[in-house]
Structures are given as structure tokens and as C-alpha cells.
Structure 1
Amino acid sequence: MTFLLFMLQEVPAAAERTSTAKLTLLDLAMKGGWVMIPIVLLSLVAAYIFIERYYVIRKASKEDTNFMNRIKDYIHDGKLEAALALCRSTDTPSARMVEKGISRLGRPLQDISTAIENVGKLEIAKLEKSFPTLATITGAEPMLGFLGTVIGMVRSFYAMSQAGNNIEVSLLSDGIYTALITTVAGLIVGILGYFAYNTLVVKVERVVFNLEATLTEFMDILNEPLKSGR
């Protein structure tokens, strides 16, 4: 009871001392201790992965609306070399799938379809490169923050135990807010990483949809001569 009364008496004085203090983000980061180092480094890695993958996936999702029409004309006219050249110059996941299909012409349709699907799977795997790393960072950052908080709390209570009867509220409050800095930092990076990861996943799903549509359209092109009796 005496300890609580002592703490209540110290609160106005502590508030008066801290009201004039101004903390910047750099100051807070420095007060977070060594745990802030991996948190900051991992956040930079996550940012790099997101930006790099975002532009790669964005490029892969761009499709030439006239591409399949030109492929259809080339195949119907028997200009397979021109069709292959068009695929190589287009340089997109869909174009590489179609290129594989054209190179397999003359084989059973099921074999052609399987070959195209395998190329599609490889293209998706390339787009999802570094996704596991980004997911790991997103999950690990909050835990690193909690670790920093626990370490900070242990240090605060150890300092209180060493202070004996000379305990001040500032000693406790400084230790607590310093310890919580790492939790805040870890949660911020984790939340942003979560949104970044799901943004990339949605974009990849759109690419998958485009690849499936390309496969269907290409197989229809191969079936058309059979339907028309050519």
C-alpha cells in the first residue's frame, strides 16, 4: 500500500519531466535495443522482396490482346516459324506456354496440353520466388518484437530490484515504454508484411487465371481445323 501511494505521488513529477521531452522515430528505435537491428534489417529485406516481385508479376500480367489472334492466323496458315518467333519476341508466361505448345504440334492433343501445363507451373513457380521468405519475415517480426519486450521487462524489474527502497516511477515507466518499442515495431512490420504478401498472392492468382485462359484458347485453336474439316 505504501509503495502504491509512493508511486501515485511520483506520477505528476514524472509527467512534468517527460512532457517537455520530444522523441523522434530514430530516438525510439535506438531505445529499442539490439532487437531493433534484426527487426529493421528484416523489414528492409521484406520491402525489397515486395517491390521486386510486384514489378515482376505486374510485367507478367500484361497481355497483348491481339497475341492469340495472330497465333491463330499463323497456325491456320501453316506459318509455325513465324508463330514461334512471335512467342519469343513477346516474352511473357503466356507466350512461353504457347511456344511450348507449338513446338509439340503433331503429337496427341493430350500430350500438348500436358506440356503446356508443365510450362505454366514453372512460370508460376518463378513468379512466387521469395514468397516463403516474405511469409517467414511477416510471421517472425512480431515474435522478435515480443522477445525484445520480454528482455526489456526483465531488465526493468532487475533494475528495480537493485534499486531497493529508492524505486522511482520513472525507473519503471522508462523501462516499460522502452521494452514496448520493439513490440510496436514488430507488429507494424508484421502487419505491413501481411498486406504485402496477400497483395502479391492476389496478383499471382490473376496471372494463373490468364494462363489457364491461354491454354484453353490455344487448345481450341488446335481443334478448329478438325471441326472445319481442314
Structure 2
Amino acid sequence: MLDILLAGGWAMVPILICSAVALAIVLERCWTLRRKAVLPPGLGEEVRAWARRGQLDPAHLQALAEGSPLGQLLAAALSVRNRPREEIKERIEDTGRHVVHRMERYLTTLGTIALIGPLLGLLGTVIGLIRMFMQVMAGGMADPTRMAGGIGEALICTASGLVVAIPAYVLHRYFRAKVDGYCVEMEQQATLLLDELTAAAPAAPRSRRAAGQEAG
């Protein structure tokens, strides 16, 4: 295997660097985007129970925000629970954008590697072919071994670029879809909490109007 990589020439260096970076990103995202780390089971119901019982002291909110992306989103809603519904919703949306940005960390780099992998392979192919033609121009067709070396370098670079790019592209799409699914579920939990926090809000204006009519 080492001999094959060395036969690919110096164009293999950026391809190998891209493969190492892609592997590191995949391992890190697999760990970070575990379901129980993003959407802890039962957290939404537990937080809604806190809201009903009034257990919303700063210590609870701090622990909630630091525990998971879903917890951070719910903690943001609870931190402005006494404001109107629209303001709570705006805070959820603002926090949600930051949470999604963190969940998508490094995915742009992974997508870039998937894009440039074949291009690096093509660059190595072109360099190998140029090297072969230069050797032919210098020594004629008398030494087929040199020609075979240039062709081998070209083919190895092409294959290596595709081997790096194809898994990177597939995993990039997989992680994107995973984040999108998490966003939908987090939005559902945030909406349920928002309804819980604002359930009694419409009752207050009606009671004041009724009191005014009675006074009149």
C-alpha cells in the first residue's frame, strides 16, 4: 500500500491530508451528534413539568442550557418566560440559529473535501500525463517503463481522489439530514414549551374586561 501511495507522486500529499481531515471530522461529528447528546430522552416533558411547578431558578436554567442543544433552546425560552409570546418565540428562533450553527460545525469543510477530492485526483492525473509526455520527448519511445510510471501515477491519483471524495460526500449528506431531523424535533419541543408558558395568557385580559363591565 505504501508503495502504491508513493507511486502516486507529490500530488498524493494533499489527497492524504484531506483524507485525514475528513476522518477526524466524521469521528467528531459521530460523537457530537449522538441522539442522546442532542435530544436527551424525556427532557422536554421534564422541562414542561418544571414550568408547571415553578422550578425555574437560575441553577436549573444554567444546568439545562449546558446539558444539550435542546436544553439550551428550552432554557432560552424559560429565561424570558414572563414576556409576551412573540418575544419568547423570537428568543427561541435566535437561539435556534446558534444551536443549528454549532450542530453543523465542520460540515462545510467535509463538503469542501468531497468537492475538491476528485479535482486533486484530476490534478495528479494531469501531472502524471505531463511527466510521461516529457519523458517521451526526452527519450523517445524506447523506454516503456517510464511511460508506465507516468500512467500509473495518473491512475493512482485519480483513484485516490475518488476514494476520499465519495465517502466524504455521502457522510456530508448523512450529517446534514441528521441535523435537519434534529431541528424538526427541537422545534416541536420548543413549541410545546411555548404553549405551556403562554397557556394562561389569554385569560387575564378577559377577566379584566369582565371586571370593568361589572363595575359599570
- TM bucket, shorter chain: 0.7 to 0.9
C-alpha distance after superposition, 1:87-139 (max 9, x if no partner): 247x1111111111111021111000110111111011011111221111111
Q: Which runs of 5+ in 1 are unaligned?
A: 1-24
Q: Structure 2 matches for 1:152-167, cutoff 5 A?
A: 152-164=128-140, 167=142
Count the aligned residue pairs.
203
2:211 paired with 1:206: no
Kindly report the root-mean-square deviation, in angstroms, between the aligned alpha carbons of the 2 structures. 2.2
Q: 1:46 touches 1:137 (CA, 8 Å); kept in 2?
A: yes
- Corresponding residue for residue 149 of structure 1: 125
2:125 paired with 1:125: no
2:50 paired with 1:74: yes
CA–CA distance in 2 between the matches of 1:105 and 1:174? 70
CA–CA distance in 2 between the matches of 1:133 and 1:85? 31
Q: CA deviation at 1:35?
A: 0.6
2:171 paired with 1:196: yes
CA–CA distance in 1 between the matches of 2:54 and 2:47? 10
The DSSP-based 3-state class of the residue aligned with 1:224 is coil
CA–CA distance in 1 between the matches of 2:53 and 2:39? 27
- Corresponding residue for residue 210 of structure 2: none
- Corresponding residue for residue 19 of structure 2: 43
- Corresponding residue for residue 211 of structure 2: none
Q: 2:118 touches 2:158 (CA, 8 Å); kept in 1?
A: yes
Q: TM-score, normalised by structure 2?
A: 0.85
Q: Which runs of 5+ in 2 are unaligned?
A: 208-216
Identify if the C-alpha distance between structure 1 residues 77 and 227 changes in structure 2 by more than 3 Å, giving closer, same or farther. Answer: farther
2:191 paired with 1:216: yes
CA–CA distance in 2 between the matches of 1:100 and 1:172? 65
- Corresponding residue for residue 4 of structure 1: none
Q: 2:76 touches 2:95 (CA, 8 Å); kept in 1?
A: yes
Q: TM-score, normalised by structure 1?
A: 0.80
Identify if the C-alpha distance between structure 1 residues 215 and 171 changes in structure 2 by more than 3 Å, giving closer, same or farther. Answer: same
CA–CA distance in 1 between the matches of 2:135 and 2:165? 31
CA–CA distance in 1 between the matches of 2:55 and 2:145? 82
Q: Which amino acid aligns with 1:218?
A: L
CA–CA distance in 1 between the matches of 2:62 and 2:159? 54
